[in-house]
Amino acid sequence: MPQALKRKGQGKFRSFAGAPDTPAIRRLNESRALDIYHSVLTVSWVRFFAGVALLFGTFNLVFAGLYLLDGHAIANAPPDSFADAFFFSVQTMATIGYGQLYPQTLYGNLVVTLEVLLGMSALALMTGVIFARFSRPTARVMFSAVAVIAPYDGVPTLMFRAANQRRNQILEAQVNVAVLRDEKTREGGQMRRFHDLSLARSRTPAFGLTWMVMHPIDEQSPLHGATPPSLAAENAEVVVTLTGIDGTFAQSIYARHSYVADEILWNRRFADVLSQLDDGTRVIDYRRFHEVIEIRK
């Protein structure tokens, strides 16, 4: 009977950050230079705008304090009105200039000059950052929740599915698969090693709908002789990277995913998701994308 499977292995440690439920890796005593530009490009939109709002508020609070150092720097504002000083700073930074409040002393004009210079620079930087975030190419590739191992043409085969969720094509798409597992050296040391897995088809000229990625487990395969207990004992993890060229933006994109040992199901096959209507229209049913069927012997 078909069986809809939810993603398993949530909360498990992954060496490869290939899934949204991957726990963060804590680095102890790490020396790392602060990369502000990379951070603002990769942080979520919620945190990005929260940071922008915090910087905007702090900027205007600082200049409101500077204006209050001279109680008569702002015309038509009470000398001790912090609110008037703050909103005058907002108007100055945005170069709005409603006309009711304006600088009336040399000190006030000097502070306004400095704020306008910094405000225009910040606006230019923020415009560039927001444009870079919007224009950065991203892939919307969906991977099956599990991988399966089942006979294919008489050979045990590791299989998983990928789908392009956009209504375009990924050109010159290429997928690379490797298994990462704990191994012991001849000296008795413990190492975590990558082993590349050869694929029945590792590239396609155009990736538009779905792609069944298959690795035959023959005598040359690093998975030859593997069993569910052995994969679990080795902390095995199948690592997947997919690269290609976005057919709309003509820019390189990539996607990644990984499967830990208990996300690899044995003697299962994926349910069919492609069908064809009477008029020749091809239909892909994403509702069954993660669905697997047990193979009965």
pLDDT of residue 88: 93
Give pLDDT, residue 139: 75
Q: What counts of helices (H) and strands (E) characterise the chain?
A: 5, 17
Average pLDDT over residues 264-275: 88
In angstroms, the CA 5 to CA 271 distance is: 11
Backbone dihedral angles phi then psi of residue 183, each to the nearest 5 degrees: -135, 155
Element (H, E) at 227: none
Q: What angle do CA 234, 6, 202 make, to 5 degrees?
A: 60
Spatial CA neighbour of 99 closest among 82, 81, 75: 75
Model confidence pLDDT, tens digit, residues 139-152: 788 899 999 999 99
Q: Spell out the domains of the chain, with CATH numbers in brackets.
A: 36-135 (1.10.287.70), 138-294 (2.60.40.1400)
Output the pTM of the full model: 0.69
Query: What pLDDT is attached to residue 285?
Result: 82
Average pLDDT over residues 72-86: 91
Phi/psi class of residue 172: alpha, beta or left (left: φ > 0; alpha: ψ in -120 to 50)?
A: left
Strands 147-152 and 264-266: parallel
Average pLDDT along the chain: 85
Please name the residues in contact with 282: beta carbons below 8 A apart, sequence gap of 6 or more. Answer: 209, 274, 275, 276
Higher pLDDT, 197 or 210: 197
Q: Who wins on pLDDT, 93 or 186?
A: 93
Q: What is the model's pLDDT at position 5?
A: 44
